Chain A
Amino acid sequence: MKNILVYLESTNNNLKRVSTEIATAACKIANGAKVTGILINSNSDIAHQASKFGVSEVILAAAPKIELHSSTAVAQIIADTAKEIAADCIIFPANSIGLEVAPRIAIKLDAGYIADCIELAADGNNLIAKKPVYAGKAVVKIKCETPVKVLSLRPNVFVAAENPTNVEIKDKSFDLSDSDLSAKVTNIAKNEGKLDVLEADIVVSGGRGIKGPENYHLIENLAKTLGGAVGASRAVVDAGWRPHSEQVGQTGKTVSPALYVACGISGAIQHLAGMNASKYILAINKDKDAPIFKNCDYGLVGDLFDILPKLTEKIQKAKM
């Protein structure tokens, strides 16, 4: 590969963590290839932050017509840029934007696309990626067969490493047509102060054992004390106790935090699939034979209504 293009994003005037991860991953497979970043409607501060992670050129794309976000317009800008710099590998984060835009780029550039990669290996023009399938029950090795390659990388998997370099910043404005903007975001509603299970370092989930939505504050308190996000099992979501955006498992989200705490979750195969990539797993359940205890690093057998307040308090003390 000669030219790698990475799609970068910022939040609150900081380069997103996932962007530092994919920039680092790009540098690792570069082997002499140039790593260029693209930032849409951003600024040179963010470009300088990207240079700390090995990005030697940043294209600051100005497209005011996008306003909030437009998957079709972003796809057009990236495809045009990729052609202009003769990019042979385009890397996205496997998040809500990347997963939606990357397949469009693959079609526009007649490229092979590998989604949700967790490991990359490049040798000359060959690129092989590993990706989880069946919600993580298995992992496949996939070879990209085309000269131009498109990848999306799973957040929280590739470790960002600083690799400061000089950066050349290029401003470029894009005058978009109405057809470029055929799908346009008109409103964004953030869950204020709420961490998403996909982005959090720690996830605390509740299962049927929590008995009702009125007891969920026990889960929330532990999550808050650990600085983590609140998750839920399918049973809890299907019962309407929690929103489906919190569901972890095969028909929910597949998470890979540093710590996953399963409270009152028995450990059905669909749930295990969604969290088995976590670095550490702590299980709390009253049934010592629950399958979750065969898939955990740490376990506490007992009544969660007794354990959770104590555990939360002890963690609070341990932090001081």
Chain B
Amino acid sequence: MNILVCVSRVPDTATRIIVGSDGKSIDKNGVKYIVNPYDEFALEEGLRLREKNGGSVTAITVGTDAATDVLRTALAMGVDKAILVKGDEPTDSYYVAYNIAKIAKEINPDLIILGRQSIDFDSFQLPSMLAEMLGMPSVSVVSALKIENGQVSAERDVEGGKETVACSLPCIISAQKGLNEPRYPKLPDIMKAKSKPIDTREAEKTEPKTSIIGMEIPSKARAGKVLEASDANIDEIVRLLKEEAKVI
């Protein structure tokens, strides 16, 4: 089975976001970047399917040279090949989907796996966009996956429960937490990954379909009425919940 896993490079979840001088993107000073956490589930699932069924796993990312580091992590985890589609830093998902679809048409994967969302723009849109561009079925937010004789059965999280979705390969799956427990790359593999080749392609520019025109940090003034938990104070909180917040 040939598997393509899309990875994205995002600020660490502990990052405090500060708006940059352009007023529409983050200040990158001192920001630590990581593999998008949901993409780790995608990589792990790809590796497990290869271990079970044979074939190969290719990791792909779209971005600047800086994105090489997430491909090195993917190589250290055990993917066979890594592709950097090099171009401007992505500002719209269409550009990313378009460039990945182009490579996918060339390498014809049986399965494409992504994280359910990239934790920077939180748009959940790449899996379905890519599927539509490639004419494939897709299942998003998958927490359990079974593939037998080219038939896919995927469990996905929906409001208040789970759905089971059936489709056939080739298809696209987006990974949810719980799908598996991602492996930690071992030190020798991290060292080896440093010298592995990265197939670098030029990204094709696309007309922007959406543009970011501003960014702000939401600030909500909170009353911050913090009390010692005496009986009288618990009564006071109940009163506030009833009279001020009006939730009782």
Contacts and interface: CB of A to CB of B under 8 A. Distances in A.
B86 interface: no
A80 interface: no
Interface residues of B, number: 89
Nearest to B164: A187
Contacts of B53: none
A213 to B, nearest CB: 16
Contacts of A137: 15-17, 217
B215 A141 contact: yes
A108 interface: yes
B133 A107 contact: yes
Interface string A195-212: 110110110000000000
Contact of A138 (B136, B171, B218, B224): B218
B161 A315 contact: no
Nearest to B141: A96
For B141, B226, B237, the residue with the greatest tally of chain A CB atoms inside 10 Å of its CB is B226
Nearest to B209: A112
B228 A302 contact: yes
Interface in B151-193: 153, 156-168, 171, 176-178
Interface of chain B, helix or strand or loop or mixed? Answer: mixed
A190 B128 CA distance: 24
Given A115-B125, A140-B215, A190 B161 contact: yes
For B119, B131, B233, B241, the residue with the greatest tally of chain A CB atoms inside 10 Å of its CB is B241
Given A104-B128, A250-B13, A185 B157 contact: no
Contacts of B123: 115-116, 131
B210 A114 contact: yes
Contacts of B122: 115-116, 131-135, 254
Contacts of B38: 251
B19 interface: yes
Given A115-B124, A297-B245, A191 B210 contact: no
Interface stretch (A43-51, A69-77, A160-168): A69-77
Given A244-B176, A276-B220, A301-B227, A138 B215 contact: yes
Interface string A137-153: 11111111110000000
A146 B24 CA distance: 20
Contact of B160 (A184, A199, A284): A199
A319 interface: yes
A280 interface: yes
B132 to A, nearest CB: 4
For B124, B160, B168, B231, the residue with the greatest tally of chain A CB atoms inside 10 Å of its CB is B160
Contacts of B177: 237, 244, 247, 251-252
A62 interface: no
A141 to B, nearest CB: 4
A91 interface: no
A92 to B, nearest CB: 11
Interface string B24-39: 1010000000000110
Contact of A142 (B141, B160, B211, B244): B211
Contact of B164 (A72, A182, A185, A254): A185
Nearest to A247: B177
A99 interface: yes
Interface stretch (A20-28, A34-42, A52-60, A305-313): A305-313
Nearest to A69: B163
Given A182-B137, A195-B160, A103 B132 contact: yes
Interface of chain A, helix or strand or loop or mixed? Answer: mixed
B227 A297 contact: no
B159 A297 contact: no
A135 B140 CA distance: 19
For B15, B143, B159, the residue with the greatest tally of chain A CB atoms inside 10 Å of its CB is B159
A95 B26 CA distance: 27
Interface string B189-228: 0000000000000000001111111111110101111111
A139 B218 contact: yes
Contact of A311 (B11, B92, B140, B234): B234
A134 B132 contact: no
A293 interface: yes
Contact of A112 (B165, B210, B223, B227): B210
A311 B227 CA distance: 14
B150 to A, nearest CB: 13
12 contacts: A71-B139, A95-B159, A135-B119, A135-B122, A138-B217, A189-B163, A250-B119, A277-B218, A280-B241, A284-B229, A294-B224, A298-B240
